[in-house]
DNA sequence: ATTTAAGCGAGACGGTACGTCTCGTCTTGAA
DNA sequence: TTCAAGACGAGACGTACCGTCTCGCTTAAAT
């Protein structure tokens, strides 16, 4: 058994919060490209070393700041049918991305994940997989009910749902209207 | 009529090609994060100013290098039916992204488009919209034929198709298998 | 016999004047450090090559501009005595350097002569030696008259006179008052 | 009383020395025009920022390097008479400028002082005034003794002495021979 | 109580690339 | 041949951050 109580000063929760807050404020003010560790340290009144000690990159700070405020595991209670479950999930997901600040951070993190492969691994594990798993719960539930149409296959459902969401966020950049939720539900449940 | 003959030395096509080649080679060797204007100038045997004179950022150089080799307006001949047209388009699109080098560049450009808004505008106009228009031709053709199912709507077709492709490229990072083409065709044409 | 009439276009006197004028104006506006061949070409409406064709450096342009306006060989008529000659020479010399613009150019040229040895050679030949020779005429005249004191030696007279002037221009930067002319004349003529 | 202990890492004396040495070596090798901050950083194995943090220009680095090796306040002990004091001062001054390396640096600094006014202020305060003050001590001593001739006035003595030295360094560029020391002493002390 | 071992804010360090500026040369088409 | 225009290879400028390294201090568990 490892002695968990190490000697020395404890990590400062105050500094941690100050850094997360500074990161969120700065990215809103100067954009992700203008965000720097140096700037975060200055704004938060901490030292650069304190940031480097706990986070590997500026993207990881943002990821933690995001996780702090938005629970990514939004559980979907059983709504009775696959269609109802799906509609609930989509509505909740779109609500998550309705705040421009969150969208901006998501765009930046997805971008960083492409450019910095190590962060990519962490971003997939810490964000993308969690969202995918949340959807997986619904699909499994539907499968158990025998509610699932033959096309698309369960594995493809996530690709279509998240593909559409991310494509709108990253490429077309206009918000998803509610009509599209109905359209998607219809398409995926095989209803007419 | 404007006199087209401007005074002064002409732009060097030789240097332009050397820069595009150097950019493509370097991004393959050191990755997008390791790519720099400085490095491109050194590798291509040109001066930094020559690059800054013609391109606003390293991403724009890559975009031009990409456009140079891959025609983005791949025309889809009439295959007789919506389903056949769609299958041809998807097959051609996946083939485009089969070469890892092209995928790597696309990931980088989509990332840069998130981080650098000015480049984002150019990337959408110079790449995303062209691909979307190419798909639009098929859909219009199907609509003229009365071949189009009520769901999804034409505008959503592109979101689903490109959403799925980009999501796999950016998020899951595993290649699309051919079964998924069939699945997608079935889903979008409303066939059973 | 060389055919003096060479083929091709003649040198443009207009451009030459425009360049000299631009150089003089610019050095007054932005200082010698801010003066550039590029700026001179832009201001004068000429091409850089035209400047490089006729002058080896920006300092040479300034030197020619200076020579254009101030005759450096101010002849000193025989005033009857060494003391009177000397006083006339000093008065004329100080007058030359009374205009701040000329002083500024002289400072810059003397500086450039230290930094750029090739220009140093030209500056000495084109400016310093001419001034020294002008003083030499007086001294020779005095020697012929037997008017010269044993100390300082003729060669040292120039060192003292020009040394004092340049030291004030370069180091102390305050103008020479007329009392110092008398002082210098007294000192050099051995009068009491 | 201000607490002198400032936070943060201390300035590296090792780097400071390495930079001063590199500056001195480089100016000897490539001349002042060829000297660059970039080159000094490379040669000294430091970063450019470290130089910019402590010195405003390459000339200031050289000035400090010069002050490091040559004490500019060479005190002149009382030699008994104004003439003897003066001879000692001149001999010491000429010795200072006998090493070609020192001369080369002085030429460069005086040049830079003309071109860069801010450095000019620092050069006068950090070098010229100190030398002038050293001479002032002798003159004051002579005045106290009643040893001073009416011409030249004390203020002009410095102009003549340093004028001659600098004129030879900057303009004629040939070394001062010892005869000229005697000549100068004779002239300034009013002896025959 | 004293020692030891972090963590902290601060800031200097060796680096790298940025985007700009100017250099001196070369190329173009008109005069 | 010269000229105005302007692209070119080259390379230094001064700045911004990177990620690392002292530094004096605070904090807390172990001695």
Q: CA angle at residue C79 from C74 to C80, to 5 degrees?
A: 145
Q: Give the confidence band of A1 by pLDDT, cuts at 50, 70, 90.
A: very low
Please compute, for residue C31, the number of CA atoms within 13 A of its CA located in the half-sphere on the CB side: 10
Q: Give the confidence band of C2 by pLDDT, cuts at 50, 70, 90.
A: very low
Round to whole Å and give the CA distance between B29 and B25: 6
Query: CA-CA distances (angstroms) from residue C117 to A123, C107, C123, D111, D112?
Result: 61, 16, 10, 12, 15
Size of interface A-B (CB pairs under 8 A): 107
Q: Do B116 and A33 touch (CB under 8 A)?
A: yes
pLDDT exceeds cutoff 90 at A170: yes
Q: What is the pLDDT of residue B158?
A: 96
Scan residues 1-60 of chain A and list those with Cβ within 7 Å of strand F: 3, 5-10, 34, 36-39, 48-49, 52, 57-58
Round to whole Å and give the CA distance between D58 and D65: 11
* Percent share of chain C, pLDDT over 70: 94
Round to whole Å and give the CA distance between B185 and B82: 9
Q: Which helix (H) or strand (E) holds C22?
A: helix C13-34
Q: What is the pLDDT of residue A162?
A: 97
Q: How many CB atoms sit inside 10 A of residue D12's CB?
A: 12
What three-state secondary structure class fits C99?
A: coil
Q: What is the pLDDT of residue A77?
A: 86
pLDDT exceeds cutoff 50 at C1: no
Nearest 5°: phi and psi at B153?
-65, 155
Q: How many CB atoms sit inside 10 A of residue A117's CB?
A: 11
pLDDT exceeds cutoff 80 at D4: no
Distance of alpha carbon A192 from its chain centroid, rounded? 32
Q: Give the confidence band of C99 by pLDDT, cuts at 50, 70, 90.
A: confident
For residue B152, cis peptide bond before it (omega within 30 degrees of 0): yes
Q: What is the pLDDT of residue A175?
A: 87
Among the residue ranges A15-19, D60-64, D89-93, the one predicted with the least confidence is D89-93
| Cβ-proximal residues to B95 (8 Å cutoff; 6+ apart), any chain | none
Rounded, the Å distance between the CA of B57 and C1' of F6 is 22
- pTM (2 d.p.): 0.92
pLDDT exceeds cutoff 90 at A103: yes
Chain D CB contacts of C166 below 8 Å:
163, 166-167, 170-171
* Percent share of chain D, pLDDT over 90: 79
Residue-wise pLDDT tens digits, C141-184: 999 999 999 988 999 999 999 999 999 999 999 888 888 999 99
Task: List the single residue in D124, D160, D171 with the smallest CB-CB distance to C164.
Answer: D160
Round to whole Å and give the CA distance between C42 and C50: 12
Q: What is the pLDDT of residue A192?
A: 57
Chain C CB contacts of D151 below 8 Å:
183, 186-187
Question: Of C60, C170, C74, C76, which is closest to residue C118 (Cα–Cα)?
Answer: C60
Q: CA angle at residue C57 from C54 to C61, to 5 degrees?
A: 65
Residue-wise pLDDT tens digits, A43-73: 999 999 999 999 999 999 999 999 988 766 6
Round to whole Å and give the CA distance between C129 and C132: 5
Identify residues of C whose CB sits under 8 angstroms from chain D CBs: 31-33, 107-108, 110-117, 124, 128, 151-153, 156, 159-160, 162-168, 170-172, 180, 183-184, 186-187
Q: What is the pLDDT of residue B46?
A: 98
Tell me which nucleotides of strand E come within 7 A of a protein CB.
4-31
Round to whole Å and give the CA distance between D107 and D35: 14
> What mean pLDDT is predicted for residues A168-182?
92
CATH number attached to the domain at C58-189: 1.10.357.10
More confident call, A54 vs A151: A54
DSSP of A71-140, one letter per residue?
-TT------SSHHHHHHHHHHHHHHHTTSHHHHHHHHHHHHHHHH-HHHHHHHIIIIIHHHHHHHHHHHH
DSSP of chain D, one letter per residue?
------SSPPP-HHHHHHHHHHHHHHHHHHHHHH--HHHHHHHHT--HHHHHHH-SSHHHHHHHHHHHHS-TT------SSHHHHHHHHHHHHHHHTTSHHHHHHHHHHHHHHHH-HHHHHHHIIIIIHHHHHHHHHHHHHHHHHT---SSS-HHHHHHHHHHHHHHIIIII--PPPHHHHHHHHHHHHT--
Question: Of B113, B27, B17, B114, which is closest to residue B62 (Cα–Cα)?
Answer: B27
CATH class of C9-54: mainly alpha
- First and final CA of chain B: distance in angstroms? 59
Mean pLDDT per 10-residue segment, chain B (192 residues): 75 98 98 98 98 98 92 77 94 85 96 98 96 94 93 93 96 90 93 64
Q: What is the pLDDT of residue B2?
A: 47
Q: Do A156 and B115 touch (CB under 8 A)?
A: no
Dihedral over Cα of A112, B23, B75, B184: its sign? negative
What three-state secondary structure class fits A18?
A: helix
Q: How many CB atoms sit inside 10 A of residue C51's CB?
A: 24
User: Which single residue is written with the structure tokens 């968990």?
Assistant: A4
Q: CA angle at residue C116 from C113 to C119, to 5 degrees?
A: 60
Q: What region does A85 belong to: left with phi over 0, alpha with psi -120 to 50, or beta?
A: alpha
What three-state secondary structure class fits B99?
A: coil
CATH 1.10.357.10 segments of chain C: 58-189
Q: Do D183 and C116 touch (CB under 8 A)?
A: no
CATH 1.10.10.60 segments of chain A: 9-54
The answer to whether residues B159 and A167 touch, using CB atoms and an 8 Å cutoff, is: yes
The answer to whether residues A105 and A27 touch, using CB atoms and an 8 Å cutoff, is: yes
The answer to whether residues C161 and C90 touch, using CB atoms and an 8 Å cutoff, is: yes
Nearest 5°: phi and psi at D56?
-80, -20
Q: Do D166 and C165 touch (CB under 8 A)?
A: no
The answer to whether residues A184 and B153 touch, using CB atoms and an 8 Å cutoff, is: no
Q: Is the CB of A114 under 7 A from strand E?
A: no
Q: Which residues of A102-112 are buried (b: 16+ CB within 10 A; e: fewer)?
A: ebbbbbbbbbb
User: Which single residue is written with the structure tokens 């030398």?
Assistant: D131
For residue D150, cis peptide bond before it (omega within 30 degrees of 0): no
């Amino acid at each position: 058994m490892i002695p968990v109580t190490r000697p020395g000063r404890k990590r400062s929760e105050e500094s941690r919060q100050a850094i997360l807050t500074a990161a969120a404020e700065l990215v809103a003010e100067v954009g992700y490209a203008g965000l720097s560790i140096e700037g975060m340290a200055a704004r938060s009144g901490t030292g650069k070393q304190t940031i480097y000690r706990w986070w590997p990159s500026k993207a990881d700070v943002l990821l933690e700041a995001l996780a702090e405020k938005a629970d990514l595991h939004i559980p979907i209670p059983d709504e009775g049918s696959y269609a109802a479950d799906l509609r609930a999930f989509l509505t909740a997901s779109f609500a998550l991305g309705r705040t421009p600040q969150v969208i901006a951070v998501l765009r930046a993190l997805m971008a960083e994940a492409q450019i910095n492969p190590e962060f990519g691994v962490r971003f997939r594990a810490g964000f993308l997989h969690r969202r995918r798993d949340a959807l997986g719960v619904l699909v499994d539930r539907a499968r158990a009910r025998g509610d699932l149409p033959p096309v698309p296959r369960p594995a493809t459902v996530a690709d279509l749902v998240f593909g559409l969401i991310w494509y709108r966020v990253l490429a077309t950049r206009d918000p998803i209207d509610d009509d599209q939720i109905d359209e998607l539900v219809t398409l995926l449940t095989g209803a007419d």
